[in-house]
Amino acid sequence: MSQLDQLLLNFKFRKNYDKNDFFVSSSNFYAFTLVDTWPNWEKNIINICGERYCGKTHLAEIFLKKNKGKLINLKTENIKNLNDLRLFENIVIDNFDKNIDENYIFTLFNFVDQNNKYLLINSEKPINEINFDLADLNSRAKNCLIAKIDKPDDELIKVLLSKSFSDRQIIINNKLIDFIAKRIARSYGKIFEFIYKIDEMSLKKKKSINLKTIKEVLGVLN
């Protein structure tokens, strides 16, 4: 687990996975539209990819709520359990990576096709760019519909900052939000690490955050 993961694990973000709480911008428009327009998909297996903390899990939760959904834990699932998925129409794999049971994934792809199910796979890297050992899985992965979430644009950065500060009851005016957005790295991880650091300082100093504090935290992160 990375240092950032450990920090955010202990940081009580308000996690509201309702559709209305997902902010749509140019960075995530295509991925959101795919989820929102289900079941009118060109293919029944889609892959939403993007860096960590970019909103993939939020979209997966929206997808699961659309119909009877099932989140698969790749650490515990196996081929013998596939029949249990017949009860569900929407299936999600979150945090997909190369270290998986390739035979299980290939069999799952076939199961989804044969039983008219829908599968959403979240990953950091597009699955059609992963070099699987199983040749048939490489072929199937290249046939999936890929939706990439790009780095946050200015509008999304400001929304993420404003909402997270509001959830933490940290008062920062719009001018300071604009100042931060112009200088912070375009990385979801860096944005949330910045929020964590600001929250930490706010609690220690027990006063509102000023420009000096913001510059100090930005200097450390950048």
209: three-class secondary structure by DSSP: coil
Q: How many CB atoms lie within 10 A of CB 66?
A: 15
Please report the pLDDT score of residue 9 as a whole number.
46
Per-residue pLDDT of the chain (222 residues; tens, 9 = 90+): 455 454 444 445 556 688 988 999 999 999 999 999 999 999 999 999 999 999 999 999 999 998 889 999 888 888 888 989 999 999 999 989 878 899 999 999 999 999 999 999 999 999 999 999 999 999 999 999 999 999 999 999 999 999 888 888 888 899 999 999 999 999 999 999 999 888 888 777 666 788 888 888 888 776
Please report the pLDDT score of residue 114 as a whole number.
95
Exposure letters 144-171 (e unless 16+ CB within 10 A, then b): bebbebbebeeebbbbbbeebbeebebe
| Residue ranges of domains in the chain, CATH in brackets | 28-148 (3.40.50.300), 154-221 (1.10.8)
Sequence letter at residue 208: S
Sequence letter at residue 77: E
Please report the pLDDT score of residue 109 as a whole number.
97
